């Protein structure tokens, strides 16, 4: 028996060395996307400058409120001095995802031209404004997980500190309840250890939350009906997005964009998104 154990101890390291690294990687569980859900995600390690996890990185999704980061960048970079009233609107738009504030900046900034300017300046390859027949629908902007990562990298590495400090400062203090009453602490805020800085997005779940933010319950509501127009990704399907900076000293940029089946409830969608976010985080930071 002692001789057998000695032989095994000698052989195991040799066997391990003979197994290709890619074969060993197959034994590590990958993030599981629930049936019927479409997901695109990227985790970027700022310390090493590498992408550590990804899926459908360049697939375009309907932006919902994630485009509010681009709206804020465009406004601040074109306004060296910001009136107090607009500072308050920026805080509402970024911390509690206020739609009226976004519409105000969108209208004044030239609507889709905001997206065209920022995409060109930030070198975003998958980002496009809403279709010409829906110019006021800023949430119909198209973008990808990789482009959102590029946007955060721009804020962290290239933007004027006045711009990045204001935007990221608000995202670090994101409120739990959106101004529309929906609980925006799904995905990163529920699945990833604090601290984090986040900008969330949701669309297609109606205008009234199934349960007012801050209260318990498992009620669900079907998404509002949508009419397909032009090249808007996943129109007719509700979308949920969680994006931000995570980990010690905000080491990682994490972006998870999802589209859910038509008729999916808010609770089921947010539960699925949060479970997936936890898996993506562990896959990208381990």
Is the residue at 148 inside a domain?
Answer: yes
pLDDT tens per residue across span 33-63: 999 999 999 999 999 999 999 999 999 999 9
User: What range defines the domain where residue 190 resides?
Assistant: 34-285
Nearest 10 degrees: Cα torsion 71, 76, 78, 79:
130
Contact 202, 64 (CB under 8 A): yes
Q: What pTM value is reported for the model?
A: 0.86
* CATH classification of the domain holding 212: 3.40.710.10
- Three-state SS for 73-142 is HHHHHHCCCCCHHHHHHHHHHHHCCCHHHHHHHHHHCCCHHHHHHHHHHHCCCCCECCCCCCCCCHHHCE
| 153 part of a folded domain | yes
pLDDT tens sequence across 176-232 = 999 999 999 999 999 999 999 999 999 999 999 988 897 544 333 333 333 333 489
* Domain count of the fold of the chain: 1
Residue 66 maps to a domain: yes
**What's the pLDDT score for residue 211?**
84
Q: Domain for residue 8, yes or no?
A: no
């Amino acid at each position: 028996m002692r001789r057998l154990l000695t032989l095994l101890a000698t052989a195991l390291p040799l066997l391990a060395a003979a197994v290709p690294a890619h074969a060993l990687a197959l034994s590590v569980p990958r993030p599981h996307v629930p049936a019927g859900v479409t997901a695109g995600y990227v985790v970027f390690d700022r310390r090493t400058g590498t992408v550590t996890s990804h899926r459908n990185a360049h697939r375009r999704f309907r932006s919902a409120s994630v485009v509010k980061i681009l709206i804020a960048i465009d406004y601040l970079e074109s306004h060296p001095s910001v009136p107090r009233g607009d500072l308050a609107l920026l805080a509402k738009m970024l911390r509690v995802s206020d739609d009226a504030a976004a519409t105000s900046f969108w209208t004044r900034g030239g609507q889709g031209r905001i997206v065209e300017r920022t995409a060109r300046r930030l070198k975003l390859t998958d980002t496009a404004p809403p279709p010409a027949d829906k110019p006021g629908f800023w949430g119909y902007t198209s973008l990808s997980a990789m482009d959102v990562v590029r946007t955060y990298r721009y804020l962290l590495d290239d933007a004027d500190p006045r711009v990045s400090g204001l935007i990221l400062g608000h995202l670090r203090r994101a409120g739990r309840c959106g101004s529309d009453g929906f609980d925006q602490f799904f995905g990163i805020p529920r699945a990833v250890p604090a601290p984090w800085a986040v900008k969330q997005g949701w669309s297609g779940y109606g205008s009234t939350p199934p349960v007012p933010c801050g209260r318990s319950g498992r009620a669900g509501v079907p998404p509002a009906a949508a009419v397909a127009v032009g090249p808007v990704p996943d129109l007719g399907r509700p979308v949920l997005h969680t994006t931000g900076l995570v980990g010690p000293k905000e080491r990682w940029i994490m972006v998870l964009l999802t589209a859910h089946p038509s008729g999916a409830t808010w609770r089921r969608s947010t539960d699925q998104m949060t479970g997936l976010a936890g898996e993506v985080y562990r896959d990208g930071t381990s």
